[in-house]
Each structure stands twice: as C-alpha cells, then as structure tokens.
A and B are shown apart, each in its own frame.
Chain A
C-alpha cells in the first residue's frame, strides 16, 4: 500500500492479488445472501478427480475396497442363512417351505424382493 494511504488512515477494502473475485465483490454489503453452498458430491465433481494421476492418493481412491471374504448368503424371505438359491427366480431361500412360497410368487413380487438387495434385472 502506498505511504500516503497508510498515513491518511483510510479504511480500504483489502485487495488480494491472487484472487479473481475479491471478498467485497462477492458479498456486497447490505445484500441478503441466499443458499450458496454445494453438497459434497457437487464439490467432488467440480474437483475433476478423473484427470488426476491414478497413483496419487486423493479423496476418491483411498476408499477401502470391498471385502476379500465371500459374502454370507441370506434368505430373501425369512432372513435366515440361505444355503440354496432358486435357479428360476434367483431368489435365495433357507428351506423347502420357503421354496414352496417362492415358486408361488408372481414375477412382479420376485422382482421386488430382488430389488431389495440390488439384484433385480432392470430393463431400460
């Protein structure tokens, strides 16, 4: 800042050289500020992480990968452990009683059960 300005004890809005938009231009005094925050997903998208080198750690690639252990299979109807799966409907079931029930279900219901564990076939 120039010496005269400092001596005159004027209060000027600070001008920062590295910024394209200064603080006082961004938020003018006496104006209401609306919602101006973004969700994290939007911020991450704006960051363009897909252009970064893949071996450099960043938010997107430090996530733990899925487990190496096989998943436990759970019956779609009863919630017990399911040793079997029906080849026709692809539902998992615990015992013969449930199997009878599965075979009596209309296809629409089967698809809904599958959708609960993200296994439904979606035709687009």
Chain B
C-alpha cells in the first residue's frame, strides 16, 4: 500500500499554485492560479496550459478564483485543482492526504466551503491546514540548525505575496496571531501600477497582464537611493543609465515580449555610490561609434516598431512597497509594518525577532530588496538591537518546501483531520484543532 500514504502538498497562492508530493525537495507543478481565454479562441485555458510558449496571451481575458488574497470562487478553484491533481500530479484524492496552506485569518465561511470541496467533492482521506509563516519558519529552522532562528525558536516572517504582505512573528512553530500586521499591497497591485504608468506615458497596455508581469519581473528593481536615481533618470540619451527598451510581441515572429538590449538593462547594477558608471576604455569607444552612427535615434520613439522604453518606472514601481502613501493608500510602508508587528509582541522577543527576519514571497525577488529594507528599518529599530534580514534562497517555493518537510514528519498523520471526523463533527469543530 505505497499509494495510501501519499501526502499532497498544495501551497494555494493567489498568483501561483505550488503543488507536489510531500517529502520531495521541489514541487511537481508551479502554475498560475487562474484561467484565461486568448482573444483568438473560445476555450478557457487552465493553469499549466498558460505556460506553454506557443500560446499567444495578448489581451487574454483572465479569471482568478482569488479576490484580495482570499478564495472566493470555489467552483473555479475546484476546476483548477482537479486539473492539477489528475493531469499534473497524477494522484487519486481518495487515497491521499492533503496539506493545504491558507492565508492568515481566513474567513470562517471560506474555510467551510474549502472543507466542503476537499472532503465532499474530491474525497481526500485527510486534511491538514497550515499558514505560510509557520511553514517558512519550519523550513528555515531545519536548514540552519545553529542559527538564531532555530535556537530561539522564533522568527519574523515577512511574506510579500501576490495580493498582500504579512509581517508575522512565529514563536515555537506557531504564528503569534495578535502580532500579525497586514499591508494591502502585493505583486498584483505593483503590476497594475506599472500598467497604469506605461499606458499613461507610451502605449496602452491595460489589458496585457501577463506581459506586464514579465516586464515587472525582468526589469524592475529596488533603488537604494531614490533621490539620486531620479536625478539620473532625468538625464537624456545614453547618460540615463536606467533607460531600457522592451519589445512587445508582434504575434508573428514572437508571441512573448523581450528586453531589447539585456546588457543595457543591467547597467544599474554597476553604478557606484555617486551614481556614475565605472569607465573602461572598451565600452567608451563602443559608445562613441554608436553615438556617431545614429545620433538622434535614441531620443526618437519609433512608432512602427512595437516597443516602449522605461526609465524611472523601473524603480518607482517597487518603491510603492516602502511608500504606499504615494499610491494614495492610507497605510504605512513595509518597514513600519515590521516594527508594528514586533512591538505588539512581548518585549523579551523584540531582540530575537529583529535578528531573525525572513523574507519570503515572490515580490521580494526584486534586486536590492533586502538591502533597501535594512536601510529603512535600521533607523526605526532601537540601536541596541541587531537587525538581520535573510532572504530565502527561493522565496516562491519556500512555503511549499516547509510544507513538504512537515508532510514527511512522522507525526503528520496524527495532526490531520480525517474524512470520518469531518463527516461527524463538521468543518468548524475540526478546524479548532489547527489553532487558527
């Protein structure tokens, strides 16, 4: 009966579903949690079908089962799940257990409907529901057994996901629920802001969610000195080190957009403190010949080619994480959010929490994110405490790996609620076991 103790680990995020078998290192499937219909067809494509390179997703109609990070459309979600279970994971739900992650403070009515799908539609044998911060803590503590995270058994997990950001203190593998603080800003809002900026300044891309997601992921970065970078971005021509061009798909030769000159786009990485590029003779010569051959082409926008150039948008979009007030949101930035989360815990925990900040979630992948956060956080923290920020090696998969670790532990079966228990007690009384 090898198939009877399969544990399916499902990290059900608003943007990406990470699904796989417990005990393995990497998930079998990392697919978008949405369904989309390209303009050319009438059929909605599910999850992994959206990832195939031949699909033309220009102005695709998009549907997501999530609204602001919470599962609202259970019909759509069960369609996506059944697709994943049957064709990607190839498991039979009735002979396997499920480990599901849930957003913090999930609403009771949503929990009830989720249980209904899992036990009455898919007929899973047993279920364990966890929240993401405790799984991230578990994974990090097991990776570094001599670090503060595992010795003090507590950490501050900053999960910056698709729909929102949570700063959650974790103590002895449990999320301290009165310390959690939420900021209503995530990857989706950032993509939308970028769409707005580009649409206002060059081409209307309001319908191109997939394309702008790619632009955001490849070109955006977190600036370490915004005032300096804004000055540089104001320069003309080749002196503007942030300017780069993104080519839109034309639907014939390529269906995905790409960065026109990847070397040009990476220039910001070599900037020195005073905002100048290190000069080497080779590049200077190349620059001069280039400048001679096409003196005015750089400043001209070629309307026949479908491309747009970005300069200050590249760092102003991730900047919103640190200053949401600029978007008109009445919430404090991420650094203040972290301070508030720590302050609501017991004072004895403060030094340890500041020393074990773990960053996870897809939106922490912007280059320079951890450095900037530390710069912002340091003045807000009493100077007797150390601030140490660790980034997970793979922030998107961190939660899933923690889940996989938990699923392979010997106590896992005892922690689950089984189908029989559910049928007898119902969702609400079963859920009490998970303490959230």
Query: Chain A residues in contact with chain B, CB under 8 A?
Result: 14, 16-19, 23, 33, 36-40, 43-44, 46-47, 57-59, 62-69, 71, 117-118
Contact = CB atoms under 8 A, between A and B. Distances in A.
Interface in B378-436: 423-429
Contacts of A40: 67-68, 70, 72
Interface residues of B, number: 38
A23 B120 CA distance: 8
B331 A66 contact: yes
Given A16-B423, A43-B72, A71-B325, A66 B105 contact: no
A39 B333 CA distance: 26
Interface of B: 67-68, 70, 72-75, 104-105, 107-110, 116, 120, 177-178, 180-184, 325, 328, 330-333, 336-337, 340, 423-429
Contact of A47 (B67, B108, B428): B108
Chain A residues touching B, majority SS = loop
A64 B337 contact: yes
A37 B74 contact: yes
A17 B422 CA distance: 10
Contacts, number: 81
Contacts of B72: 37-40, 43
A65 B181 CA distance: 9
A57 B169 CA distance: 14
B68 A67 contact: no
30 contacts: A14-B120, A14-B423, A16-B120, A16-B423, A17-B424, A18-B427, A18-B429, A23-B116, A36-B75, A39-B72, A40-B72, A43-B109, A57-B177, A58-B105, A59-B107, A62-B181, A63-B181, A63-B184, A64-B181, A64-B182, A64-B331, A64-B337, A65-B331, A66-B325, A66-B330, A67-B331, A67-B332, A67-B336, A68-B332, A68-B336
Given A18-B426, A40-B68, A43-B109, A67 B333 contact: yes
B336 A57 contact: no
Closest 5 CB pairs of A and B: A18-B426, A67-B332, A40-B67, A37-B73, A64-B337
